[in-house]
Amino acid sequence: MLLDMIFLVISAVISGANNWKEIEVFGKSQIRWLQKFVPLENGIPSHDTLGRVFSILDHESFSQCFMKWIQTISRLTDGEVVAIDGKRLCGSSDKVKGIKAVHMVSAFASENGLCLGQTTCDEKSNEITAIPELLEILSIKGCTVTIDAMGCQSEIAKKIVQKEAGYILAVKENQKELHEQVVKMFEIKKTQSIDIDIDSGHGRVETRKCEIVSDLAFFDVEKEWTGLKTLVKIESERFIQIENKTQREIRYYISSLQVDAKTMNNKIREHWRIENKLHWILDVNFGEDSSSRRIGNSAKNFNLVSKIAMSLLSKENSEKNSMAIKRYKAALNPDYREKVLKI
């Protein structure tokens, strides 16, 4: 019965359903199609039943099954960027009942366009403990792990190297001494490599200048960071035409990679795909932040179902369509739905 429900829910979410009620409606309208693959002897469960079952479904076991499955459909390339970042599930909180929002930390393979795994924590500050737990269960040998400033911790860098991967970690003033040392190095050292990248589109022009220092003599905190080889400075200038305004920003990174500035510039840019290709799609196409799922494991498990649906839809490339169009087509065309599900 549980497997029947899981098949129903994944099929429905692929076909555009974003909540339990919509899944129930999908099930009742597609019951003959569903029964080609699962018996559903008791018919389509109500939305309340679906919500209750997924609220008590053990999330850790479900997540482990997801990760094992992802490994069967993805093959990470050498040096592929695996971006790790957290996202708050806004609809999972209830201030009146004192229920805190779920904070999900995900690992996203930029080239494959797939979420490789996830773990949960109570709030953003706990990402420091959640990230090592996620790294422990990932297969990332030969990849480049990128993390924002919250994950810039010496123990996290050590864990990545132990997993035989490289790292690029953002440095901000939450690591005051480290930040000051990196800034100082770019003032006293000659950069070994420089790359300038210009990108335009959607009414804006962005120039990104990447500089690398690989001579770490006089870098006082070098020994604290396992595998550290380079310091990185990114100067970005974004001109927004409609506002006739220019935005400037300087960001710093530490890295275990010994690569030229062009390669580094590209890898740092790829980190943001986790925002554009995972978090944004979950919010806009799958309605994650607007949905209220607060009981038990309901929010965490529905987030995982959405990622399963995203992965299947991303892998279906017979036509070049957006995620929204693919879901709409899956709703209308059972043959296409089967192609997405690979059944």
Residue 221's nearest CA partner among 267, 152, 271 is 152
Strand-pairing partners, residue 168, are 146, 255
- Assign residue 178 a region (left: φ > 0; alpha: ψ between -120 and 50; beta: otherwise): alpha
Tokens read off for 338: 């089967």
Give the integer Cα–Cα distance in Å for 137 and 200. Answer: 38
DSSP helix/strand/coil, 252? strand
For tokens 């400037």, name the residue: 248
pTM: 0.85
- Sheet arrangement for strand 114-121: 114-121, 102-109, 81-89, 144-147, 166-171, 245-255, 230-240, 204-213, 193-201
Considering 62-71, 85-94, 177-186, 236-245, the range whose residues carry the highest mean pLDDT is 177-186
Mean pLDDT within 291-313:
83
Q: Which long-range contacts (CB under 8 A, 24 or more apart) does 96-100 make?
A: 97/294, 99/294
DSSP helix/strand/coil, 81? strand
Q: Tell me if 287 sits within 8 A of 297, measured CB to CB.
A: no
pLDDT digits (tens, 9 = 90+) for 79-136: 899 999 988 776 555 555 555 667 889 999 998 889 999 888 765 557 888 899 999 9
Q: Which run of H or E residues covers position 196? A: strand 193-201
Q: Tell me if 28 sits within 8 A of 50, measured CB to CB.
A: no
Give the integer Cα–Cα distance in Å for 336 and 113. Answer: 21
pLDDT digits (tens, 9 = 90+) for 135-160: 998 999 999 999 999 899 999 999 99
